[in-house]
Amino acid sequence: MSREARKRLAWFDYYPAHGRNAALICRHFGISRQTFYRWQRRYDPQDLCTLEDRSHRPQHRRRPTWAGEQAAQVCRLREQYPRWGKDKLAVLLRREGWAVSVSRVGRILTSLRQRGVLREPVRFRVKRRRGTQNRPWALRKPKDYAVEKPGDLVQLDTMDLRPAPGVVLKQFTARDTISRWDVIEVQHRATSTAAKLFLDTLQGRLPFPLRALQVDGGGEFAAVFEQACRERGLKLFVLPPRSPKLNGQVERANRTCPASAENGVSCR
């Protein structure tokens, strides 16, 4: 028996044992009276299959209203123009003298696909590098990872600083998600070596031990930086693509820190 059928059987086992009170049964199991009475009429104690869901397929299905010649013409044009949809194919058919609507062409295409008559073109997809497949130490943050005390999770990010015309610096920002303790450092470039130097600064300035870091997929948080995290036993969590909201606290720190607010260089 399916799970739903076992639930319905429990209704009718409970029903005679409690005075055949339908209102009580419905309150106890959280169902409506209409549902209970409908299944009661269908229930046969000698055949528990009566408690199973029935097929919802309609008794009368719509029959094809097109001729075989029309289907052949649609198939021919689709194979000639494999990237065209029903709208363009309907225009071509009307030019050839076939009075068909766009919806009918769509139904014919669906029928041809289901029957295996229509050969769809091969779609070439560009492979994108996703996840942390090529990252030996970094991984996605597990859902059951508990952040309870300072140092359990520190978010990292970088941003551009332009203190003068033609001068571009890189600011590394770290924020602890529990204590909201910020550490900021400015480097000339955002490289993995610079990120490793910032990691040294971060561990030296935090008044509590560092256990885990959360970064985006930027290249500055890979290679040398990732190796440094591995050597120091620090967990490194990488965000999924296009999800800066998951690093919202450090993004907010970038917005309000003195370096970005005054467009200068300031660290604390």
DSSP symbols for 17-67: HTTT-HHHHHHHHT--HHHHHHHHHH-BTTBGGGGSPPP---SSPPPP-S-
d(CA 199, CA 225): 8
Q: Which residues make Cβ contacts (< 8 Å) with residue 16, sequence separation at least 6?
A: none
Q: Is residue 162 over pLDDT 70?
A: yes
d(CA 111, CA 267): 66
Cβ atoms of 93 and 105 within 8 Å: the answer is yes
Confidence of residue 64 (pLDDT cuts 50, 70, 90): confident
Higher pLDDT, 134 or 69: 69
pLDDT value at position 235? Answer: 94
Phi, psi of 212 (to 5 degrees): -150, 150
188-201: per-residue pLDDT in tens? 999 999 999 999 99
Mean pLDDT of the chain: 87
Cβ atoms of 210 and 181 within 8 Å: the answer is no
Cβ atoms of 225 and 191 within 8 Å: the answer is no
Confidence of residue 266 (pLDDT cuts 50, 70, 90): very low
9-41: per-residue pLDDT in tens? 999 999 999 888 999 999 999 999 999 999 999
215-242: average pLDDT: 92
Coil, helix or strand at residue 157: strand
pLDDT value at position 137? Answer: 87
Residue 263 burial class via C-beta count within 10 angstroms: exposed 0-12, middle 13-18, buried 19 and up: exposed
Q: What would the two tokens of residue 50 be?
A: 């009566």
Confidence of residue 128 (pLDDT cuts 50, 70, 90): low
How many alpha carbons lie under 13 Å from residue 11 in its C-beta half-sphere?
A: 24
pLDDT value at position 206? Answer: 94
Q: Is residue 263 over pLDDT 50?
A: no
Q: Is residue 126 over pLDDT 60?
A: no
Positive or negative, the Cα torsion across 54, 59, 65, 71? Answer: positive
Q: List the Cα angle 6/10/16 in 5-degree steps.
A: 150
Q: What would the two tokens of residue 37 be?
A: 């009475």
DSSP for residue 144: T
101-119: per-residue pLDDT in tens? 999 999 999 999 888 888 7
d(CA 23, CA 18): 11
Higher pLDDT, 261 or 232: 232
The full length of the chain comes to 268
Coil, helix or strand at residue 244: helix
